[in-house]
Amino acid sequence: MGITFKRLDNKVAIVTGSTSGIGEATAKLFAAEGAKVVVCGRRKEKGEEVVKAIHTQGGEAIFIQADMMEDKQIENLVATTLETYGQIDILVNNAGRIIEKPFVEFTKSDWNEFVTLDAYSYFRAMQLVLPHMESRKTGNIVNVTSLAALAVMPTHALYSFVKAGVTHMSKVVAAEYAGKGIRVNSLLPGVVYTEMIADNPNTPHMEKIIPMGRMSTSEEQAKTILFLASDESSYMTGSSIVADGGVRGI
Amino acid sequence: MLLKEKIAIVTGGAKGMGEATCKRFAEQGATVIIADLDLDIAQKVAANINASGGKARAYNRVDVTDTSTIKDLVVSAIEEFGRIDILINCAGGTFGANGTSENINMKDWNKTIELNLNGTLNPIMEVLPHMKKQNYGKIVNFSSMGAFNAYTVVLHYHAAKGAVESLTHNLAFELAPLGIHVNVISPGPIMTPFWDELMPPGPERDQFTVALAKKEVPMQRMGTPEDIAGVCLFLASNLSDYVTGQKINVGGGMGNIISHNSTFLSSDENKQVNK
């Protein structure tokens, strides 16, 4: 990628949902910047491929299989990371999916599943790493949410509700830990070309409303996550950085 | 290096946040063109950068409210390098000691608007033809935390900075299809020479700023010019290639979250600054 400057030398980073998309790009970029990366997700084969690619580039990474819907697996993710590397410097909460339906068609099980994966997993992972980070007086959390936290589209009732909630919760966590050497920021990606969106019928329409005229790559989002996870953003906490090609201003 | 072979103009580049940004950019491979009212200091900063293996120029004295001085700078830059990739609009400041409704006058108002708002637009107008030809450009403007999160009242300065945010958003929308990014940084309390006009440097000021940060800043410390330089680097480099039209609050949490102890408007510290 040509930007390597070992910005994350010797840092240990957990990137949830890093078997594909933004998480995969982030894991690879972090490793190129010198971090020891914990790749995790449900899909073992995909995760091991990502780790292999990092090793081929001379980076350090392990795969820990985790379904972020399951408490025990989130606990195991954090515990295994600490056993392996002894510390956690960076947590990137990224695991998630999209759910789109006309408002009246959402069911209670949609609610439960979606809130568990896209909100509870972020909440629980932060709860588990924060005492460790506090004991070391240093830590950095980046919560990847969505432009949907700010911008409103039909069929996004549940998606926007959860993304806005997590974005706002990040600020509260930032406030509680601001004086303790721990920074917490959110990245709100706009439309990103990932497998989540490849076969979405709304995709061509969405491109038309982007001032930059194109969707984002996962790598572009990863670079902005790198900024938030590195010392370049040393005086920032509680921020929501929108990387959306100009859709939503200021 | 993030800015290899990039050509960057930094207004207000001789001191404070601008100077720190020039140094960081030079370390990252950019050629830095320092535009400042004080040509002597600008030349010294350029000489320091050149002596430490970087590349910098200070062609002429630049007053961002005087278009002819910016034109001269841009002509020199284009003659020598043929392109301008980055513009950092860091020059700014305030006139008159106090900007409350009781004390403000139209003379200070007009001068402050001219420096901060016109002084942001003028350099943009001069570099845009070149950025449009290149189909590439990164423009970073400077607002102030007080524009939307007042911790002290400076009506003219903060109104000008609010307008800079609107300018940023509109330009970003216009220029996005052309590959030109426009974003704005909103700094919180950063220790720069800007403070010298409010309070002389010394132990009394140090004590004051430590107390101020404890009270007002969630991260419990004052910001440094280097804190700002890192964000400029983000917005000027390919790390921000899908980010345009955005405001980045850089205030140790200010603007995003409220400090538990925040009482500045009615506090003794406020009276010390706003005499």
Half-sphere exposure of A164 (CA within 13 A, CB side): 11
Tens of pLDDT, residue by residue, chain A (250 residues)? 445 578 999 999 999 999 999 999 999 999 999 999 999 999 999 999 999 999 999 999 999 999 999 999 999 999 999 999 999 999 999 999 889 999 999 999 999 999 999 999 999 999 999 999 999 999 999 999 999 999 998 999 999 999 999 999 999 999 999 999 999 999 999 989 876 677 777 777 777 889 999 999 999 999 999 999 999 999 999 999 999 999 986 6
Residue B142: inside a domain: yes
Q: Give me the pLDDT at residue B216, please.
A: 86
Considering only residues 132 to 191 of chain A, which have any Cβ-Cβ distance to chain B shorter than 8 Å?
171-172, 174-175, 178-179, 183, 189-190
Which of B172, B240, B250 is closest, CB to CB, to A224?
B240
Q: Give me the pLDDT at residue B253, please.
A: 96
Question: How many domains does the structure of chain B reveal?
Answer: 1
Measured CA to CA, the distance from residue A99 to residue A229 in angstroms comes to 28
Residue B181: inside a domain: yes
B79 touches chain A (CB under 8 A): no
pTM value > 0.90: yes
Residue B186: inside a domain: yes
Q: Where is B138: in which H helix or E strand?
A: strand B137-142
Closest residue in A to B3 (Cα) is A3
Which of A178, A179, A223 is closest, CB to CB, to B241?
A223
pLDDT tens digits along B126-146: 999 999 999 999 999 999 999
Q: Give me the pLDDT at residue A1, please.
A: 40
Residue B24's domain spans which residues?
7-198+223-259
A103 touches chain B (CB under 8 A): no
Long-range contacts from A122-128, C-beta under 8 angstroms, 24+ separation: A122/A93, A122/A166, A122/A169, A123/A166, A123/A169, A124/A71, A124/A74, A125/A14, A125/A16, A125/A68, A125/A74, A125/A77, A125/A78, A125/A91, A125/A93, A126/A91, A126/A93, A126/A173, A126/A184, A128/A74, A128/A75, A128/A78
Q: Give me the pLDDT at residue A142, please.
A: 98
Q: Give me the pLDDT at residue B99, please.
A: 85
**CATH code, B177:** 3.40.50.720
Residue B147: inside a domain: yes
- Note whether A139 and A198 are within 8 A (CB): no
pLDDT band at residue B266 under the 50/70/90 scheme: very low
Residue B110: inside a domain: yes
Mean pLDDT of B104-121: 96
Number of CB atoms found within 10 A of residue B90's CB: 31
Residue B216: inside a domain: no
Q: Which of B129, B91, B121, B137 is nearest to B237 (CA)?
A: B137
Residue B218: inside a domain: no
Test B249 with A236 for CB contact under 8 angstroms.
yes
Q: Measured between beta carbons, which residues in chain A are less than 8 angstroms from residue B219?
A: 178-179, 183, 235, 237
End-to-end CA distance of chain A: give it in Å, rounded. Answer: 29
Q: In what order do the strands lie in the sheet with A36-41?
A: A60-65, A36-41, A12-15, A90-93, A139-144, A182-189, A240-243
What number is the ipTM of this complex?
Answer: 0.91
Residue B2: inside a domain: no
Q: Measured between beta carbons, which residues in chain B are less than 8 angstroms from residue A245?
A: 176, 242, 244
pLDDT tens digits along B25-47: 999 999 999 999 999 999 999 99
pLDDT tens digits along B218-238: 999 999 999 999 999 999 999
- Note whether B70 and B96 are within 8 A (CB): no
Which of B169, B219, B243 is closest, CB to CB, to A250?
B169
